[in-house]
Amino acid sequence: MTNTVWRQGELIEVAITDLSDTGDGVGRCDQRVVFVADTVPGDRVMIRLVSVKPKYAHGKLQQIIQPSPHRIRPGCIVADKCGGCQWQHIDYDYQLVAKRNQVIQALERIGGFVQPPVDPVLAAASAFGYRNKATYPLSKSATGQVQAGYYQKSSHQLINLNQCPVQDLRLNPLLAEVKQDIQQRGWQIYNEQRHQGQIRHLSLRIGRRTGEMLLTLVVKDWNLAGIENQAQAWLKRYSQLVGVSLNRNPERTNAIFGADTRCVAGVPYLREKFAGLEFQVRPDTFFQIYTETAEELLQIIQSQLNLLGHEVLVDAYCGIGTLTLPLAKQVRQVTGLEVQPKAVEQAIVNAQINGINNVTFQVGAVEKLLPKMGTLPEVVLIDPPRKGCDRAVIDTLLRSKPSQIVYVSCKVATLARDLKLLCQEGQYTLTRVQPADFFPQTAHVETAAFLVLPHLG
């Protein structure tokens, strides 16, 4: 039992021993778990309690009494304020250790696996300058200046940025200068409390291999006076910029993009090279943030599947065909399933560009399409959103029993939950788990889990 009564606002000393899946440091004191942002395992710190519950508390870092050997000086001057990154104060090698531990702990605690077969994390080639897309909310300063950046941690206070060390550095001039152009145009910045104003977000995207860029303004409605002239000026100023678009989001919502996007100058997509193929990527398309590490993870998936050319494969949640099309070149037939019609349109175009004819795409929710397929083929790839798989997807896999399943996940908690269902009562065997660092300087980790039927294990 806890003997000490903790009170909000109280100062306590705590040793940090772990990291949570949200990126906070974790310590234990007086039989309570304490979560503290901006700390590192090995730190001994003084914290101020900001929230106290019976079994846990949240604290705010006040003083580092003894720093961890894994603590470093952040490379970004606003790293302690900006909510875009959580781990710039942690050396990169330890970030990889922490992410592997995060995967192991989720599989053990949520999935019930004993000594899960988790490989070392696939490290990023560079821990900075990697993001091929960045979307910034806009605001006005107290003096009326247009600002773009990320929100301060645990707040709605915007931290203004003129450059960002984790985005592709070729995008930095646009971030700094487009704000000035918006200011000079007199375009009104959206105010979410009053649901008034016009421009909500600035989105920048780049093809890492081609250098082609897209600039998109997310607006409340289409009536942005002078946008065509300004778009042409941007195309002229930035030689690698190939398209300027507007995305309309008229709703009171935290979602960034609305349903409709219009190209106002140039072309509505950029070209990117991925896994030896050419892809068209639009402003509102999902495409993995770290192009090069995604390609390395794909190579591991291809190697682990050991495809011989005669297989039939289903790619559920296939998007624009990022994984579907490279895999199609190694099998007899592929079917891609995707709920977003626009993504399927792009997937079909991408297949045509690359002359890939052994793939078909179906539009609809995976939980509805997969059960209608009858007997599933021998290989199924699933790459669901953060919420994981609908139970109907799990049930269909268990009923049809494909020989191999690859589950790619961006949230290890839902991955562990779904793997537990797939492996219960010995139905599937988890043979390998490969984490990959798609998001250096943050607590996020991408993971590929490989399952086979027991007699194939």
* CB 207, CB 271: distance < 8 Å: yes
In this structure, is the dihedral angle defined by the CA atoms of residues 272, 274, 280 and 281, taken in order, positive or negative? negative
Residue where the block lists tokens 């289409």: 222
- What contacts 70, CB < 8 A, 6 or more positions away? 40, 41, 42, 90, 91, 94
**Interatomic CA distance for residues 240 and 214, integer angstroms:** 9
- In the set 76, 389, 410, 423, the catalytic residue is 410
**Residue 394, SS3 per DSSP:** helix
Which stretches within 155-248 are classed as H helix? 172-185, 227-237
* CB 354, CB 346: distance < 8 Å: no
* CB 233, CB 282: distance < 8 Å: no
- What contacts 61, CB < 8 A, 6 or more positions away? 36, 37, 38, 39, 45, 47
**Cα-based distances in Å from 440 to 79, 86, 159, 304, 398:** 14, 10, 20, 25, 35
* Gap between the terminal Cα atoms of the chain: 46
**Interatomic CA distance for residues 286 and 182, integer angstroms:** 26
**Interatomic CA distance for residues 100 and 122, integer angstroms:** 10
329: enclosing H helix or E strand: none
**Interatomic CA distance for residues 350 and 281, integer angstroms:** 9
- What contacts 311, CB < 8 A, 6 or more positions away? 331, 332, 377, 378, 379
- Identify the DSSP state of 455: G
**Interatomic CA distance for residues 124 and 299, integer angstroms:** 14
Going across the sheet that includes 446-452, the strands are 359-363, 333-338, 312-316, 379-382, 404-409, 446-452, 429-436
29: annotated active-site residue: no
- Catalytic residue numbers read 410
